Structure 1
Amino acid sequence: MRRKVRRTHGDIFRRRSLAVGIILALVASICVGKLSYMQLFAAGSVAQAATASRTVTKTVKAQRGTIVDTNNVVLAQSVERYTIYADQVAAADFTPVDCNGKNESTCHAIDGKNVGATGPAAVAKLLAPVLGMNTMELGGKLVGTNRYVVLKKNVVPEVMRAIQKLHLSGVIGYELTSDRQYSDDGLLGTILGGVDAAGNGVAGIEKMANKSLIGKDGSTSYQRGAQGQQIPGTVTESVDPVNGGTVKLTIDWDVQWYVKKALKDAQDKTHAEWGIAVVQEVKTGKILAIADTDNYVAGTDEAKMNASKAVTAVFEPGSTGKLITAAGLLQEGIHKPTDQFQVPYQIQLDGQTYHDSHEHGVQNLTLAGILKESSNVGTVMASSDYSLEKRYDYITKFGIGQSTGLNFPGESNGQIVSSYKDWDKRTRNTVLFGQGYSASALQMTNVVATIANKGVRNGQSIIESSTDAQGNDTTPSVKKSQRVVSEDVASELMNMMESMAEQYKSVMNVEGYRLAGKSGTAQVADSSGALNSIIGDFIAAIPANDPQFVITVALKDPEGIYGGTTAGPVVGTIGEFLMQKYEVPASPERTDAIPTEW
C-alpha cells in the first residue's frame, strides 16, 4: 500500500517562489537582450527617430521687393514685422523663476520684483506692457488648450526683441512677416495698386510686376523641447530667404506731385467732375507722370478696386482727332498745308448736315487754318478725296484700337466703332474730326508724341527697369518703334499745331517757350447714357522748336466747356514746371509760320 505524501505550506511557497523567479529571470533576460540589441545594432536609428520627433521646420518669409521712381525715390517697400503668438497649454504650466541676483538671464521680474503669479496670469503680467495690451484682455487670450493663438500682428522689431528678453520661450513665439508701406499719399494710388493678405500683387504695378517683386521664402530646422521652445544649438538646416527684386518706374516723383496738384487746382477752379493728365518724354516714350483727380492711397481697398482713369477711361477725342486726319491728308499727298478753302458754317453731304462749333460767315482758310480754327466743316471738305480705307488706316497707325504695350492691368485699347466697310454715311465723316471712335489719354498723348518725334511712334513705357529675386533682368519689352508719317509731314504738322496753340497764349503762356498743340471738346455719355457730358482736353508738345515732352490734360464737364480755355491753362502750368526742372533751353523766335488765311 502506497504511502500518501503530505505537502506543507512551506513546499507550496517554495515552488511558487521558484516559478516567479524563473519568470522574472526570463523577463530580465529579454530586457537585457533588447537593450543590448538597441545599443549594439539599433542605436543610430533610435536616436534618429527621437531627433526627428523633436525636429521642426519653420518657414522664414522673404520680403517683397521695392518699387522706386526714376530717381530711386522709394514708392513702395516691405518692412520687417512680426506676428506674436502663444501656446495656451504651455501658458497654463508656466511658473516664473524668481530672481536671486545670479540668474538674470533666465529669471522673471516686473520692475525689479518677482511676478507673484503663475500660469496665464503671470505670462500676461510680463507680456502686456511690452505689447501695449490690457493685462486682463491678454490673460483671457492665454487661457485654453490651443497650441497656436495669435496675440498681435505687425509688431515692430524693437518690440519683438523686448519680448525675447522676457524669457518666455516655449510659451510665446513669433513669426517674421512684412508690412507693405507706400509713400504715395494718394499721388499714385491706383497706379501702384496693392497686395492681398498673402503679399501678392492684385492691382496696378504691384500686379503688373508681381513676378519681379515676390521673393523666395527660406526655412530653418531645429529641435524643440517639451514646451515647444527651440533648443539652443540644435539648428540642423537653414536656408536664407531671398527678397524680391526692384522695379524702377519711369515716373518722376517731383513731376507727378506737380501734375497732380495742377490737376486738382483745375478741378476746383472749373468744378469738373474729374480730370486726368499725362506727361510723356517725346524721344523715349517714357511716362513721367500719370495722374487723375481721385485720391486713393496705394494699398487701400479703394486703390485696389479702382483703376486709374488715365489708363482705363476712354472717350471720343473730338477735335484732337483732326491731327490724325491732317497727318493722313499730308502724307498721302492729297493736300499741302497752304491749300486754300472757303469754309462756311455748315454743309450738307449725302443727306447729312455738318457744322462748326459756333456760327460764322464763309472763311478763307488754308489747311493750316482749318486746323487752327478746328473747323469740322473744313475738315470734311478737305477730305473729299481721302478714301474710307485711308481714314481707317491712319487712325490705326497712330495706335487707336491697339494696346499701348504697357500691359497695365485694366488698360483700355480704345475702339474704332467698326470696320470702314461698315461705316454709315455719317460715321465715315465724323471720324475725320474725332467722333465715331474712342481713345484713352495715353493713346492720344502718343498721337502728339508721334508727330513731335518726327513722325515715329515709340512704344510707351512706365517701367524703366526691373529685376527679380534672383537678380535676373525682367524689364518689360517696349513696343517696336514705327514710322507713321515722314519727317517733313511731321514738321509741317508741328508748324500747324503751333499756330493753333498761339491762339491761347493769354491763358496758356510759358514765358520763353513755344508750344505746339491741339484742343478738343467732345460729347460723351452721362450716367443716363445720353450724350449730355463734355470732355474738354488739350494736348501739347513743348518746346515746339525741339519737342522734349508731350502734356495731355482732360477735364470732364468743366465750367467753360472748351478744352482750350479749361484744360489749356493746366497744360501751360505743367509745361512751365517741366522747362524749369529740366533746364530746357529757351525757344528761338518763330519765323516760319505757315499762313492760315488767304
Structure 2
Amino acid sequence: MDDIRRFARTRNFAFRSIVIALVLSFVASVCLVQLANLQLLGRNTALAATQMRTTKVAVNAKRGRILDANGVVLAQSVERYNIIVDPQLASEFKPTACNDTTKEYCHQIDGKPVGASGAAAVARLLATVLDGTNAMELGAAISDANSRYAVVAKDVTPEIKRKIDDLNLGGIVYGELTNERVYSGGTMLGPILGGVNADGSGVAGLEQSLDKTLTGTDGYEIYQRGNGGEMIPGTLTDSKDAVNGSDVTLTVDGNVDWYVKKALIEGKEKYNASWAMAVVADVKTGDILALEDTDEREAGSDDAKLNASRVVSETFDPGSIGKVFTMAGVLQEGQHKATDQFTVPDTITTDDGQTYTDAETHGAEHWTYAGILKNSSNVGMILAASNYTDEQRYEYLRKFGVGQETGLDLSAESAGILHHWQDWDLRTRNTVLFGQGYTMNALQITQAIAAVGNGGVMPKLRLIKSTTDADGHVTENAGGNATRVIDEDVASQVLNAMESVSDLYKNMVSVPGYRIAAKSGTAEVAGSDGKLTSIVSDWSGVIPADNPRFVITVVMKDAKVGSFGGLTAGPVFATIGEFLMQKYNVSPSAKRTDAIPVEW
C-alpha cells in the first residue's frame, strides 16, 4: 500500500515537473520569439528611420559667367535657395508658446501667439518673411498630410533663408541651394545676352547659343538629414562633385557699348527717329566692340527673351552704301579705275526702257568714278557698270557677304535677301548697283565695309573672345577665316573715294584730328502699313581713314529731322568715333595729300 502511495506521489511529482517544464519551455520560447521580434523590429525600425533620414541632395553646378573684354561680369549665377516644406510634418506642428524658458525656440508673430496650429501656423510664420505671400493660400498649398515635399518659394536670397531659419521650423521648412541668373548691365546688350528659363537653361540670345558651354554638370550628396534639415556629421555615404559651366569672355568692350547706346538714344531723340542701332568693330580682327539699339530691354527679362536685337534681326536695303560694293567689283574686274572720267546727267533711260534718276536734280556733271561715289549718283553707277554683267553684280554682292549669315550664331539673325541674278527683273538688275533690291543687317554692312578698310580682306566677325573652364583653362576663340574680296590696290582706291564722301559731309560729320572714309545711304522700306512709307538712313565708315582701326555702322529709321544718312546717322557716327579715338589713344591722322580727283 505504501508502495502504491509512493508510486502515486512520484507519478504526480513527475507529472507536475513535466507540466512545469513544459510551461517554462513555452515561456522561454515566447521570450526567445519576443526577443527575436524585438531585435528584428528594432533593426527594421532603425533601418526605416535611417532610410527616412537619408536623402540624395543635388549639388547644383553654377552656370558659367559671361564677361566683357575687360573682365567685367555681364551675367552670372548667384547663390539662392528654394524653400521647401514637409506638409506631413507641417500638419503635426504645434507652436511653442514664448516664455523665459522657451524664448530661444518659441513661435510668435509680432510678439503675439501664432493663433493656429498645423499647416496654417507654418504658413502664418512663413508669410512674415516671404513678402507678397498670402498666408491662407500658402496654408492650403502645404495642407496635404500625405506629401513630404512642397516648394513654397524659389530663388530667395541667403538673407531671406537666414530669416526663415530663425523661425524655428527646423525639419518642417528648409532651403535647397540653387542659383539665380543676374545681369549687371540693365538694358545694355539686353536681347544679345537673352536669358534663361525657370530651369536655368538658355532660351534666347547668347544664353541660348552658348548654353552647352555655360551649363555645368550637377553633382549630388547622399547623407542623413537632421530635424533642422542639416547634414548629420559622419553620415555622408556617397557624393559626386558638381562641375561648373565655363565662363565666356566677349570681344565687346562694355564701356564702348554703354557709350554707343547712350549716343544712339540721344541721336534718336535729336532727330526724332523711330529707332536707331549701331555696330562697332575692329577693322583688322573683326572683333565686335559694341552692338546696340535704342530698344530698352533688360537682359534676362521676358522682353529680352521674346524680342531679338535689331542689330541681328532688322534687315533693310542698304541704299547708297551698296555703291561701295559696286565700285569695288567694277574696279576689281579691271573695267574702270577710280580716276576714269564720266559725263553724268541726273537721268538715264537704259536700252530696256527703264528710267533711273539721281536723288537731286543737276546738269551733266564731269565726275570721275571717285566723284560718282562722292556725289552718290545712281546714274553714274549705271554708266560705270555698262560692262558689269548681272552674274558679276551678284557674285560681288555675295563676296561682300550679302544674303549670308555672319557666322556669329546669334538667335534670330537674319541673312537678308539677295535673289539669284537669273531671277532679277529688268529694274532690279540695275537697282542692285546702288543698294536697292536686296537687304542686309547692320552686322553684314559692318563686315563688308571692314573689307575695304582692311586692304580688301574681309575679316570674320567675332563676338566670343575665349572660354574658361571650371579648372581655369582658357581656350581662345580663333573665329573664322578672313576672306580676300578685292585686291589691296582696289581697296585703296575705294577707301580714297569714301574719304571724299566724308569730306562732302565734313560740316556735319567730323572728328577733329582724324580722317574718315565712309558712305551714307538712304532707302525706302516698308512702314507699319506694309507699304514703302518709311525711310532708313545709314552711315558706315572707317576711322582713321589713313590708318584704319575701327569700322562703325549707324542706322536710323524714320528720322524726322533730315532723312539722309549723312545728316542723321553720320553725326552719331562722329560722336562714337570721337569717343573711340580718345579711349584707345589713337594717334591723329596725317594730312591728306593723295586724294583722287573727283571732277575733271
Q: Common fold, TM-score beyond 0.5?
A: yes
Root-mean-square deviation (Å): 3.2
Give the residue type in structure 1 aligned to 2:215.
I
Of 405, 411, 417 in structure 1, the residue corresponding to residue 407 of structure 2 is 405
Secondary structure in structure 2 of the residue aligned to 1:181 = strand
Secondary structure in structure 1 of the residue aligned to 2:267 = helix
Does the C-alpha gap of structure 1 residues 118 and 304 become closer, same or farther in structure 2, counting only changes over 3 Å?
A: closer
The residue aligned with 2:258 is: 257
The 5 Å alignment of 1:31-70 reads 51-52=50-51, 54-70=53-69
TM-superposed deviation, 1:30: 5.2
Does the C-alpha gap of structure 1 residues 228 and 154 become closer, same or farther in structure 2, counting only changes over 3 Å?
A: closer
Deviations 1:31-54 (A, max 9, x none): 567789x79xx98x9977774454
Q: 1 CA distance for matches of 2:60 and 2:526?
A: 49
1:108 and 1:114 in contact (8 A); partners too: no
TM-superposed deviation, 1:149: 3.0
Q: 2 CA distance for matches of 1:156 and 1:442?
A: 39
Q: 2 CA distance for matches of 1:227 and 1:554?
A: 59
Q: 2 CA distance for matches of 1:157 and 1:131?
A: 13
Q: 2 CA distance for matches of 1:406 and 1:113?
A: 60
The residue aligned with 2:89 is: 90
Does the C-alpha gap of structure 1 residues 232 and 162 become closer, same or farther in structure 2, counting only changes over 3 Å?
A: farther
TM-superposed deviation, 1:78: 1.2
The residue aligned with 1:587 is: 589
Of 368, 376, 391 in structure 2, the residue corresponding to residue 389 of structure 1 is 391
Secondary structure in structure 2 of the residue aligned to 1:534 = strand
Aligned length: 581
1:366 and 1:597 in contact (8 A); partners too: yes
Deviations 1:492-514 (A, max 9, x none): 11111000111111111111111
Does the C-alpha gap of structure 1 residues 46 and 280 become closer, same or farther in structure 2, counting only changes over 3 Å?
A: same
Does the C-alpha gap of structure 1 residues 158 and 325 become closer, same or farther in structure 2, counting only changes over 3 Å?
A: same
- Residue 268 (structure 1) aligned with residue 269 (structure 2): yes
TM-superposed deviation, 1:23: 6.0
1:216 and 1:469 in contact (8 A); partners too: no
The residue aligned with 1:205 is: 206
1:213 and 1:469 in contact (8 A); partners too: no
- Residue 314 (structure 1) aligned with residue 315 (structure 2): yes
TM-superposed deviation, 1:485: 0.9
Give the residue type in structure 1 aligned to 2:374.
K
- Residue 108 (structure 1) aligned with residue 115 (structure 2): no
Give the residue type in structure 2 aligned to 1:72.
G
Worse-superposed segment, 94-103 or 202-211: 94-103
Deviations 1:426-460 (A, max 9, x none): 22111111112111110111111000001101100
Q: 2 CA distance for matches of 1:136 and 1:591?
A: 79
Q: 2 CA distance for matches of 1:326 and 1:24?
A: 113
The 5 Å alignment of 1:18-29 reads 27-28=30-31
Does the C-alpha gap of structure 1 residues 568 and 33 become closer, same or farther in structure 2, counting only changes over 3 Å?
A: closer
Secondary structure in structure 2 of the residue aligned to 1:564 = coil
Give the residue type in structure 1 aligned to 2:358.
D
Q: 1 CA distance for matches of 2:337 and 2:306?
A: 49
The residue aligned with 2:370 is: 368
1:211 and 1:468 in contact (8 A); partners too: no
Secondary structure in structure 1 of the residue aligned to 2:82 = strand
TM-superposed deviation, 1:378: 0.5
Structure 1: gaps of 5 or more residues: 1-12
Does the C-alpha gap of structure 1 residues 469 and 227 become closer, same or farther in structure 2, counting only changes over 3 Å?
A: closer
Secondary structure in structure 1 of the residue aligned to 2:223 = strand
TM-superposed deviation, 1:472: 6.2
1:90 and 1:227 in contact (8 A); partners too: no
The residue aligned with 2:149 is: 148
TM-superposed deviation, 1:19: 8.5
Q: 2 CA distance for matches of 1:136 and 1:434?
A: 64
Secondary structure in structure 1 of the residue aligned to 2:529 = coil
1:212 and 1:474 in contact (8 A); partners too: no
Deviations 1:566-594 (A, max 9, x none): 11111111111111111101111111110
Q: 2 CA distance for matches of 1:136 and 1:402?
A: 57
Deviations 1:526-557 (A, max 9, x none): 23332222111111100000011011011111
Give the residue type in structure 2 aligned to 1:416.
L
Give the residue type in structure 1 aligned to 2:160.
V
Worse-superposed segment, 138-147 or 19-28: 19-28
2:107 and 2:168 in contact (8 A); partners too: no
Secondary structure in structure 1 of the residue aligned to 2:439 = strand
1:171 and 1:229 in contact (8 A); partners too: no
Structure 2: gaps of 5 or more residues: 1-15
The residue aligned with 1:190 is: 191
Deviations 1:203-224 (A, max 9, x none): 1111111111112212111124
The residue aligned with 2:291 is: 290
Q: 2 CA distance for matches of 1:387 and 1:472?
A: 52
Q: 2 CA distance for matches of 1:133 and 1:287?
A: 43
| TM-score normalised per structure 1 | 0.89
Q: 2 CA distance for matches of 1:133 and 1:317?
A: 51
Q: 2 CA distance for matches of 1:303 and 1:118?
A: 44
Deviations 1:226-269 (A, max 9, x none): 89775444222233323222111111111111111111111112
Secondary structure in structure 2 of the residue aligned to 1:163 = helix
2:109 and 2:125 in contact (8 A); partners too: no
The residue aligned with 1:332 is: 333
Q: 1 CA distance for matches of 2:131 and 2:480?
A: 54
Does the C-alpha gap of structure 1 residues 25 and 209 become closer, same or farther in structure 2, counting only changes over 3 Å?
A: same
Q: 1 CA distance for matches of 2:450 and 2:245?
A: 34
Q: 2 CA distance for matches of 1:132 and 1:353?
A: 70
Deviations 1:300-355 (A, max 9, x none): 11100000111111111111001011101111111111100000111111111111
TM-superposed deviation, 1:140: 6.3
Q: 1 CA distance for matches of 2:522 and 2:429?
A: 19
1:115 and 1:122 in contact (8 A); partners too: no
The residue aligned with 1:6 is: none
Does the C-alpha gap of structure 1 residues 346 and 154 become closer, same or farther in structure 2, counting only changes over 3 Å?
A: same
Does the C-alpha gap of structure 1 residues 170 and 133 become closer, same or farther in structure 2, counting only changes over 3 Å?
A: farther
The residue aligned with 2:5 is: none
The residue aligned with 2:380 is: 378
1:67 and 1:76 in contact (8 A); partners too: yes
| TM-score normalised per structure 2 | 0.88
Q: 1 CA distance for matches of 2:205 and 2:445?
A: 21
- Residue 517 (structure 1) aligned with residue 514 (structure 2): no
The residue aligned with 2:348 is: 347
Secondary structure in structure 2 of the residue aligned to 1:437 = coil
Worse-superposed segment, 109-118 or 328-337: 109-118
Does the C-alpha gap of structure 1 residues 501 and 136 become closer, same or farther in structure 2, counting only changes over 3 Å?
A: closer
Q: 2 CA distance for matches of 1:396 and 1:126?
A: 67
Worse-superposed segment, 449-458 or 152-161: 152-161
